[in-house]
Amino acid sequence: MGNRGMEDLIPLVNKLQDAFSTIGQSCNLDLPQIAVVGGQSAGKSSVLENFVGRDFLPRGSGIVTRRPLVLQLISANAEWAEFLHCKGKKFTDFDEVRQEIEAETDRITGANKGISPVPINLRVYSPHVLNLTLIDLPGITKVPVGDQPADIEQQIRDMIMQFICRESCLILAVTPANSDLANSDALKLAKDVDPQGQRTIGVITKLDLMDEGTDAREVLENKLLPLRRGYIGVVNRSQKDIDGKKDIKMAMAAERKFFLTHPAYRHMADKMGTPCLQKVLNQQLTNHIRDTLPAFRSKLQTQLLALDKEAEEYRGYRPDDPGRKTKQLLQMVQQFSVDFEKRIEGSGDQVDTVELSGGAKINRIFHERFPFELVKMECDDKEMRREISYAIKNIHGIRTGLFTPDMAFEAIVKKQIVKIKEPCIKCVDMVIQELINTVRQCTNKLDCFPRLREETERIVTSHIRDRESKAKDQVLLLIDVQLSYINTNHEDFIGFANAQQSSKQSNKQSSAVNQVIRKGWLTINNISIIKGGAKEYWFVLTAESLSWFKDDEEKEKKYMLPLDNLKVRDVEKGFMSSKHAFAIFNTEQRNVYKDNRFLELACDTQDEVDSWRASLLRAGVYPERSSNVSEPVLENDVLGHVDNFSMDPQLERKVETIRNLVESYMAIVNKCIRDLMPKTIMHLMITNVKDFINAELLAQLYSAGDQGALMDESQEQVQRRDEVLRTHQSLKEALAIIGDISTSTISTPMPPPVNDWRSGSHLQPAPLVPGGCHQASAPVLEEGEGLHLLPTAQDHWGHSTTVLTVPRFPAAPTGLLPASPGEARPRHPIPPTSLLHRPLHKSNTYSSSSL
């Protein structure tokens, strides 16, 4: 290929690729795209071909590029091309590539000059290219021809904007030299998307086709419409050259000759031509590579530091050493014991901030889940009254009793106590499951020894199951103890004298304190879409009400809901909803909130829902009972009996008295059970399991079989050790390679910004020296045979400097500069400062008298 600069970059990129491939990672350099923008027939495709070094694009007069061509260059061992629309077909002849581009263009746009924004995707694989994306865009045209739409200009502009507005796209603004630069559409588009000129390079084509006596010198010297990166002139092949199969290499030689021999360009020949354009673009790619090196180096150093400690442990590792196995077994068991205790008891180091673990979950079971399950087992008020009325009537039998029977109270209380067994057993099951989960989490560190992990889990889990039966027996014993004796002399028991409904209510009111039970964010789901849909509010739950505010500052209260006659029911999670919900409703079928019979509240997790339900329970808002098939009949029966009982004031008083007594006594029992259950489980289960792990686990492991087999490493661990050592070494080598690249490549700084593109030349007056002369601007006249203008190359600001050579003068009486030591000839400064502030052209002539 013809682009030698690109080939110089390839070893650089290959080194980076090698550095990352040794550690199994990809080196994503994300090199910039290069897009050529310009008017119709400005020579865009030729510029692109020269950069690639291959002759493969359609050429001709008029609009030739009618669809964007996205050309992906991919480094490979062989050279071929393939199209996205012809997957699997390889093109090795680039003349066929050109024909396929023309055919694919006509297939979409037709053969009558139509255009389309649908790009043609072409991939060129070659050992002579970098992984780059080049974009050949349709030329900007103003008058539609053939099948082109009326808004052809706007369509092409929109098409170009899709590509050049990306920050990773270098813009080659191509303008033919035989047109007015001030009317350049390419420069206008480039300025719109790149006002600072950081990624725009001006390209002047067709310098060889300018009228005789004219040239583009002022443009190329960056004086007329200055660009931050300046302009580069190129001479492309003519259609005659292309038809004559003149290759790119010969065209570049002819281009070089043109610039060296042309009187207007020969002083800047080294900064003109396709090789210079290639050099500038390749330098930009080099800058990009250097810019990415710090991030690459930081990434590799981070990985190296993360592996340092582990690699140090693996060095000198001997898997079959018996002493090592024994030592490691002791360390693993000790670490397992420490991890288990930390998860249960809690620890300040390595705190899990994602989810609750071990002891925190068990605490939640003790103080939220278990009390909630207890309340769910309580009878509802109507069912309680029905059972009491049946008990009283059955105890009296055929006779009508005069007094409230103690036996009815005892029968109802024992029935309620028996119901406590189910939530107590469920509490034990939940704690056991959490202990087993904790054991599994702690054995994750034993993954490298699968036999040891398996045996550890089996031994500890078996011990937990053994303790399960003892814990459940003890829990049932607690219930049986409560059933064995009904202590009506308990200090908290209200007694028969205080068992009237009025006294109970007064006690409740006197003990009720408007204390805050819980605060937090909840979403109200059942707000109509017209009113804004679901909204999140800050809720405050007290012993008497549920209030919500606009935010957690609690300044703007939205609503306050009294807790009287409220209950909680479950709400199924919606199909499209990610939240978990529950609902609050009024047992008397009244509206809870505005026109809503229920208030549906939602949280992010089920744990939050359970926590809110437990808090509502503390405030006296109980859950709704699940119904069964026979319940409607019973309910009607109850209502009928209650209605009948209401006709008998004496029976009604007895029922109310026993109900109050049962509630009072069951409150004592529940309080006792809520206190004893965590203590019983803690003693018989959790503490015992911790002691077993500390004292007996190691002995059980030794008695389980061959200790050597227990410490056999998994195949994954062997691979992990080898991979860590290999990766650690590769990271060191990769960092060394990147260090070499950093020192072997030179970054070219961005040129300083220029003023507005249409501000003209940027020649600035030089600083004054004593005597009023401009130090740098005053050209020195040397003796010579005639008056000549010898422009030199541009300085680093993009400005040209000019030296005048004048005839020999006689000794001047005034204004002479002292000659340097050993200098034979006088040196004469030019006094008129007006000459020093304007550009010098070859048409300027000065006489000796004027000097």
Question: How many whole angstroms separate alpha carbon 353 and alpha carbon 554?
Answer: 28
- Residue 731 CB partners (closer than 8 Å, separation 6+): 23, 300, 303, 304, 307
CATH of 34-296, one of 3.40.50.300, 3.20.20.70, 3.40.50.1950, 1.10.287.130: 3.40.50.300
DSSP state of 819: P
**What's the per-residue H, E or C state across 645-697?**
HHCCHHHHHHHHHHHHHHHHHHHHHHHHHHHHHHHHHHHHHHHHHHHHHHHCH
In tens, the pLDDT along 450-482 reads 888 888 999 999 999 999 999 999 999 999 999
Q: What backbone torsions phi and psi does residue 102 show, to the nearest 5 degrees?
A: -65, -45
Most confident of 45-54, 149-158, 500-509: 149-158
Amino acid at 7: E
Average pLDDT over residues 750-759: 63
Question: How many whole angstroms separate alpha carbon 159 and alpha carbon 762?
Answer: 34
Helix (H, G, I), strand (E, B) or coil at 75: strand
Among 225, 147, 148, which residue's Cα sits nearest to residue 179? 225
Average pLDDT over residues 368-396: 78
Instruction: Give the bridge partners for 308, in sequence order.
Output: none
Question: How many whole angstroms separate alpha carbon 747 and alpha carbon 146?
Answer: 49
Most confident of 199-213, 374-388, 462-476: 462-476
Question: How many whole angstroms separate alpha carbon 663 and alpha carbon 736?
Answer: 80
Contact predicate 236/205, CB 8 Å: yes
Supply 332's token pair: 């693993």
Asked whether the predicted pLDDT for residue 280 surpasses 50, the reply is yes
Return contacts of 558-564, CB within 8 angstroms, 24+ apart: 559/593, 561/592, 561/593, 561/599, 563/619, 563/620, 563/621
Asked whether the predicted pLDDT for residue 775 surpasses 80, the reply is no
pLDDT of residue 687: 92
Which range has the worst mean pLDDT, 247-261, 303-317, 545-559, 752-766? 752-766
Average pLDDT over residues 141-164: 81
Greater confidence, 554 or 714?
A: 554
Contact predicate 156/115, CB 8 Å: yes
- State percent of the chain over pLDDT 90: 10
Asked whether the predicted pLDDT for residue 845 surpasses 70, the reply is no
Asked whether the predicted pLDDT for residue 490 surpasses 60, the reply is yes
Contact predicate 237/251, CB 8 Å: yes
Among 622, 624, 623, 619, which residue's Cα sits nearest to residue 545? 619
Greater confidence, 756 or 245?
A: 245
Question: How many whole angstroms separate alpha carbon 111 and alpha carbon 87?
Answer: 24
Question: How many whole angstroms separate alpha carbon 82 and alpha carbon 89?
Answer: 6
**What per-residue string of b and e applies to 249-280 under the rule 16 or more CB within 10 Å gives b?**
eebbeebbebbeebebbebbbebbbbbbbbbb
Supply 459's token pair: 């031994």
Question: How many whole angstroms separate alpha carbon 672 and alpha carbon 98?
Answer: 91
Most confident of 622-631, 749-758, 829-838: 749-758
Question: How many whole angstroms separate alpha carbon 610 and alpha carbon 616?
Answer: 10
Sheet holding 566-571, edge to edge: 557-562, 545-549, 535-542, 516-524, 598-603, 580-586, 566-571, 622-623
Helix (H, G, I), strand (E, B) or coil at 520: strand
**What's the per-residue H, E or C state across 686-734?**
HHHHHHHHHHCHHHHHHHCCCHHHHCCCCHHHHHHHHHHHHHHHHHHHH
Amino acid at 697: L
Among 633, 631, 653, which residue's Cα sits nearest to residue 389? 653
pLDDT of residue 770: 37
Contact predicate 147/114, CB 8 Å: yes
Give, in order, the Cα–Cα distances in Å from 566 to each of 563, 588, 599, 608: 6, 9, 11, 20
Question: How many whole angstroms separate alpha carbon 97 and alpha carbon 80?
Answer: 10
In tens, the pLDDT along 238-279 reads 777 777 777 777 888 888 899 999 998 989 988 898 888 878
Supply 829's token pair: 């400064």
**What's the per-residue H, E or C state across 419-455?**
HCHHHHHHHHHHHHHHHHHHHHHHHHHHCCCHHHHHH
**What per-residue string of b and e applies to 811-834 under the rule 16 or more CB within 10 Å gives b?**
eeeeeeeeeeeeeeebebebeeee
How many angstroms from the chain centroid is the CA of residue 837? 56
Which range has the worst mean pLDDT, 620-634, 675-689, 746-760? 620-634
Question: How many whole angstroms separate alpha carbon 804 and alpha carbon 684?
Answer: 107
**What's the per-residue H, E or C state across 9-28?**
HHHHHHHHHHHHHCCCCCCC
pLDDT of residue 474: 94
- State percent of the chain over pLDDT 70: 73
Crossing angle of helices 248-261 and 274-314, in 10° steps, is: 120
pLDDT classification of 673: cutoffs 50, 70, 90: very high
Instruction: Provide the mean pLDDT of the chain.
Output: 75
- Give the ranges where 786-832 is alpha helix by DSSP (H): none
pLDDT of residue 481: 92
Q: What backbone torsions phi and psi does residue 233 show, to the nearest 5 degrees?
A: -90, 140
CB atoms inside a 10 Å sphere around CB 89: 12
Q: Which helix (H) or strand (E) holds 305?
A: helix 274-314
pLDDT of residue 761: 41
Average pLDDT over residues 734-740: 76
Asked whether the predicted pLDDT for residue 290 surpasses 80, the reply is no
- Residue 245 CB partners (closer than 8 Å, separation 6+): none
Whole-angstrom Cα Rg for the chain: 46
pLDDT of residue 682: 93
Most confident of 197-206, 425-434, 582-591: 425-434
- Residue 775 CB partners (closer than 8 Å, separation 6+): 766, 767, 768, 769
Amino acid at 418: V
CB atoms inside a 10 Å sphere around CB 161: 14
Return contacts of 528-536, CB within 8 angstroms, 24+ apart: 534/602
- The total number of residues shown for the chain amounts to 851
In tens, the pLDDT along 11-58 reads 666 666 666 666 666 555 566 678 889 887 788 878 877 777 777 777
pLDDT of residue 509: 47
pLDDT classification of 683: cutoffs 50, 70, 90: very high
Which range has the worst mean pLDDT, 139-148, 491-500, 598-607? 491-500
Question: How many whole angstroms separate alpha carbon 550 and alpha carbon 568?
Answer: 23
Q: Which helix (H) or strand (E) holds 471?
A: helix 450-484
Question: How many whole angstroms separate alpha carbon 51 and alpha carbon 3?
Answer: 6
pLDDT of residue 140: 81
pLDDT classification of 362: cutoffs 50, 70, 90: very high
Asked whether the predicted pLDDT for residue 498 surpasses 70, the reply is no
pLDDT of residue 746: 65
Sign of the four-CA dihedral 322, 324, 327, 331: negative
Asked whether the predicted pLDDT for residue 425 surpasses 90, the reply is yes
Contact predicate 241/251, CB 8 Å: yes
Asked whether the predicted pLDDT for residue 180 surpasses 90, the reply is no
- Residue 475 CB partners (closer than 8 Å, separation 6+): 424, 425, 427, 428, 677, 680, 681
Q: What is the CATH number of domain 515-619?
A: 2.30.29.30
The two domains 34-296 and 515-619 share their CATH topology (first three levels equal) = no
Instruction: Give the bridge partners for 172, in sequence order.
Output: 36, 201
Asked whether the predicted pLDDT for residue 299 surpasses 90, the reply is no
Q: How many CA atoms lie within 13 A of 805 on its CB side?
A: 8
pLDDT of residue 18: 65
What is the full DSSP assignment across 368-401?
A: IIHHHHHHHTSPPHHHHHHHHHHHHHHHHTTSPP
Query: Global pTM?
Result: 0.47
Most confident of 208-217, 683-692, 837-846: 683-692
Among 431, 437, 469, 365, which residue's Cα sits nearest to residue 686? 431
Domain boundaries defined on the chain? 34-296, 515-619
For residues 391, 395, 400, 405, the Cα torsion angle rounded to the nearest 10 degrees is -80
